Structure 1
């Protein structure tokens, strides 16, 4: 994910509305990783429930 935060495994997709500026990536069928890329850092916002 550090090399390609906007592509690759987990079907990364940009989020809208409340999470604009964040990206979602699948962990498994039920859970997602919600993150934001700032400069050269990846900030993890959520890593379990999708839109909880």
Structure 2
């Protein structure tokens, strides 16, 4: 499938995260990913409002 379409409201990220995408897993949790023609690379999974 197309990693820029589908469930979870996929959105391209901007500024220093340009080239990455965000997708909702739940109301609170998100996944940050990047893709090329061969694979999808997951960089972060967690709460949108988590504190470090």
How does the TM-score come out when normalised to structure 1? 0.83
Q: How does 1:8-19 map to 2 (within 5 A)?
A: 8-19=6-17
Unaligned 5+ runs, structure 1: none
Runs of 4+ in 1 over 6 A off after TM superposition: none
Question: Which has the larger Rg?
Answer: 2
Unaligned 5+ runs, structure 2: none
How does the TM-score come out when normalised to structure 2? 0.83
Aligned residues: 50
How far has the Cα of 1:46 moved from its partner?
0.5
Indicate the RMSD between aligned Cα atoms, in angstroms: 1.6
